[in-house]
Every structure is written in C-alpha cells, then in structure tokens.
Amino acid sequence: MYYIWYCTLNISVILVAFYMFGSFSTQCSALLFLSISFRTQLIKEKDDIDYYLEVNFKGLSKEEVAAYRNSYKKNICVDMLREGYHKSFTELFALMERWDVLREAAKVRSIFWLQKPLEEQPEKLDHFYHYLTRAENAERKEYFEDVYNNLYALACYFNTPEDKWVRNHFYERCFKIAQLIKIDGGKKEAEAHAHMGLLYEEDGQLSEAAEHYEAFHQLTQGRIWKDETGRFLNLLACESLLRTYRLLSDKMLENKEYKQAIRILIKASEIAKEGSDKKMEGEASYYLGLAYLAAGEYETALTVLNTYGKISTDLDDDLSLGRAYEATAKVLQSQGEMKEAIKYLKKVLKIARNNFQNLDIVRASTMLGDIYNEKGYYSKASEYFQQAFDTTRELMNMPLMNETKVHYGIAKAHQLMLTINNCIETADITSLDHLLSWKESRSDIAPDLIIGILNNQQYVLNSCKECEISSFLSVQCHTLLTRASVDRC
C-alpha cells in the first residue's frame, strides 16, 4: 500500500511540473506514457513488493503459518523431506504407523492405553529428526560408524519399558549397519551382536540369543575392548553367554533332555575357563554338577562339584562353598551314602550360621532331619526340624514356616509313636497309667494338627481298653502319619 501511494504521489508531482511548464497536448501523451510504464513496473516488481512487505511488515511467514496450522508430526516429516532425507521419513512414518497399531491393540486390551500418540510428544519427534537425519547423511557418505552411533543413540533414548519395541527396531538396524563397519576390527559388530542377544533373550528366544552371544564372544576373544562403564567386553560376553546357556539348560532339564543340557553346560564351563574369571568358572561347574545329578550320573557330579568347592575355597567365598557342599550332600543322599551326606550338611549348617544365611540354615536342617527321619533317629530328626522351624519363624516366611511345621510335626509324632506303641503292646496297668498321664500332661507338646489327631486316636484307644483293637488302631496311627507326609508333599 505504501509503495503504491508513493508512486501515485510521484506521478502527481511530475504532472504538476508538466502542467506548469508544458502545453496541454504534451501533457496528455506524457500522462499516457507514464501510466503505462507505471503499470508494467508494478507487475514486474510484484515480487519485490512481496519481498518488501515480508521484510518490513512483520506478519507470519509461510513456514510460521504451516507450523501453526499443521500437526507437529507433519511438520517434522515435511522438514525431513525438504532436505531430501527420504529414508528417515520412510522409517519414521513406518514407526508411527506401528505405534498406532500397537495403540489400537492396547486399546482393546486396555493395557498401556495411557501412552500418548507420538504426535503429542514433540521431544521424541525431535530426537527422531535429529538422529535419523544425521544417520542418513552419514550413510550417504558411507561413514557407517557415524550411522551406527546415531542409531545407537536413538536406541538408548528409547530404552524405557513402554518403548521397548522402538529400541529393538534400532538394535536391529544397528546390527545391520555394524556388519558393514570393517575399520574397527569388529568392535561395533560385537556390540551389535550383544544387543541382538539381549533382544532375543528378553523375548524368550534363547537359542537365537545364544547364537548372537556366541558371535559376540568370538569377536571379543583376545581383545581389550571396554564398554562405556569400563568393563571388558569379553567378560561381558562370557557372562551373558553363560546366563543364556544356563537358562537354556534349565529348559532342557525341565523337558528331561539331560544329554543336551549337559553338553551345553560343558560348553559353558569351557567358555568360563577361557574367560579367566574364577567365580564364573565356579558357577558354571555348579550348574553342570546339578545337571549331572538330575541325569543320575553321580560320580561325575561329585567330581564337578568338588572343583566348585575348591574354587570357592580359593576365592574365600563361603556362600558358594556352602552351595557346593549342599549340592554334594544331595548327590551323596541320592547315592545312599547317608553318613557322608550328613557330614557335608553339617558343614553347610556351620557355614550358614557363620554368615547368617537363614534360608540356607532352613534347607540344610530340613535335609538333615529328613535323613535322620529315614534312618529312624526320630529324636535327632525332630531336633533338626525344630531348628528349621525356629529359623523360619524368625524369617516370617509363612509358606516355608508351614512346611517346616509339618516336617517337625511328623518327626515329633514318629518320636512319640515308638513309646506309645510300646505302651500299647505291653498292655498292662503301668503302661496304661503312662498313657493316661501323658494324655493329661501333653500341654507341653506343641499343639500341632497331626498330634491333635493322634491324641484323638489315643483317646479312643484309652476308652476301649481292648488289646486287639489297640493293635489295629496303632496301625491306623501309622497310616495317618504316612498320609500326612504324603499331603505335605
């Protein structure tokens, strides 16, 4: 507007000048000429006017209008495409579509419905823009290391439980890119294998995870690479590989595929040996020993567990030593060498007491009690069961307490049964007195369910005072006990 006004002013000034100095006819032709030239000038300078307006009148530019009118998601996409980052755009677009699909699915199941759509999370979109475009730029110039770094940064950014699938997507991309990086001797590739392994492990596909970890381990062998926290990659590889192998073998043991499980665990222990980390080696042999035990190869199990014990002693690691002894005792128990087993279990008990490992105490004493119970040393059995029971009471662990309670009750009942049987079998006045007095004074006995039932039986017994019936009842007592122990199982 200003411009046009200014032009008209100009014309009128010139006209006035003509009017003053020239004749009328020249004035007319001049007017015509001027108006024509003015119009062409105006059209020619339309762009200039636009520019002038844009510079001097601070309105909204086209970009600002677009930013206001359109969603942030669209603006980001358009920005990417304008600069020619079409691969980033395709990737982001595909991710957003998947995001929407997941959201729809979640809506049906009404889990993580709280998650906002991507369009409403500008900082996430900004991250996508920043790293994806940089990655694509680097990819164009074939700087694969930069590509990897950018993609990895994105993967790290999305390392939250609800965005796990985004992270996994970028781990996969990293993996593909890493295979193209040759300069660093395979460090990136190794890292990518580690991420893929983690991805599969979390997904529960253990054999695939093991494959990736194996590759990771192979690539890091003999290298002194470290990760961001300063840990050796090779050690990390060993750890993850062992963990996966253990999980795999656990699954196989569940399916009774002992041979395969043992083969995998042997592989694991070899890797642990190469990793030159004593603790890991010990762990590996412990699980191998357990596998042998499950497979029924007791001798081998014993030797393997022995090495574990030795390693633990070398490391002064009481806890693992306790575990070693416990496992050894289990093997011995299965072999039927109770004395040896008892020896080991007592060691375990001692170690556990020294280290205040209450759960270990409970386990060991229960096992000891079981062994004594089987052998018929009921008083000793009940002593150990009592220990277990007392410890669980301290722990406030209800299910464990209930279990030990039953054990304790059974042992106690066994202990009582002997004397009561004797009394019944002799069937004279003194023994009857014994029974009666016990019946009156049994308040000192723990008010246990089984004993309660036993008492009832005894009560019936007393009132009958018949020998034949009493013998029958004592048999019934025993069946009750066994049933109780079956129930416990």
Partner 1 sequence: MNVIYPLAVPKGRRLCCEVCEAPAKRVCTACTVTYYCGVVHQRADWGSIHEKICQLLIPLRTSMPFYNSEEERQHGLQQLQQRQKHLIEFCYTVAQKYLFEGKHEEAVPAALHSLRFRMNVYGLSSVELVPAYLLLSEASLGLGRIVQAEEYLSQAQWTVLKSTECCYATHSLLHRNLGLLYMAKENYEEARYHLANDIYFASSAFGTEDIRTSGGYFHLANVFHNLNKVDLADTLYTKVTEIWYKYLNNHYQVLSHSRLQQIDLLGKKFENNTGLDEAHEAEAIRILTSTLSIRESTSDRDPEKTVFVLKTLVLLYYLMMNYSKAQEYAMEAFILAKEKLSVHEQSTIQELLNLISAEESHPE
Residues that bind partner 1 (CB under 8 A): 62, 74, 77-82, 84, 86-87, 89-90, 93-94, 140
Distance of CA 433 to the CA centre of its chain: 64
User: CA 345, CA 381: separation in Å to the nearest integer?
Assistant: 13
Query: Could you give the C-alpha distances from 479 to 50, 348, 412, 453, in angstroms and in order?
Result: 105, 34, 16, 12
The percent helix, strand, coil of the chain (3-state, each to 5) is 85, 0, 15
User: CA 106, CA 363: separation in Å to the nearest integer?
Assistant: 44
> What is the 8-class DSSP label of residue 83?
T
Shortest Å distance, C-beta 181 to partner 1:
20
Nearer to partner 1, 169 or 243 (CB): 169
Shortest Å distance, C-beta 44 to partner 1:
13
Nearer to partner 1, 60 or 464 (CB): 60
Nearer to partner 1, 79 or 318 (CB): 79
Phi-psi region of 221 (alpha: psi -120 to 50; beta: other; left: phi over 0): beta
User: CA 323, CA 119: separation in Å to the nearest integer?
Assistant: 54
Nearer to partner 1, 147 or 241 (CB): 147
Shortest Å distance, C-beta 89 to partner 1:
7
Task: At 269, list the tokens.
Answer: 């222990």
Nearer to partner 1, 100 or 254 (CB): 100
Question: What does residue 114 show for φ and ψ, rounded to 5 degrees?
Answer: -65, -20
How many residues are present in the chain? 489
Shortest Å distance, C-beta 132 to partner 1:
14
Nearer to partner 1, 67 or 315 (CB): 67
Shortest Å distance, C-beta 51 to partner 1:
12
Nearer to partner 1, 136 or 189 (CB): 136
CB 48: neighbour CB atoms within 10 A?
Answer: 12
Shortest Å distance, C-beta 278 to partner 1:
52
User: CA 52, CA 46: separation in Å to the nearest integer?
Assistant: 10
Do residues 225 and 255 make contact, with C-beta atoms less than 8 angstroms apart?
Answer: no
Question: What does residue 70 show for φ and ψ, rounded to 5 degrees?
Answer: -100, 165
Shortest Å distance, C-beta 91 to partner 1:
9
> What is the 8-class DSSP label of residue 304?
H
User: CA 95, CA 211: separation in Å to the nearest integer?
Assistant: 27
Helix axes 86-109, 72-82, angle to 10 degrees: 160
Shortest Å distance, C-beta 96 to partner 1:
10
Shortest Å distance, C-beta 114 to partner 1:
26
User: CA 446, CA 440: separation in Å to the nearest integer?
Assistant: 14
Nearer to partner 1, 84 or 185 (CB): 84
Nearer to partner 1, 86 or 259 (CB): 86
Residue 166 is which amino acid?
V
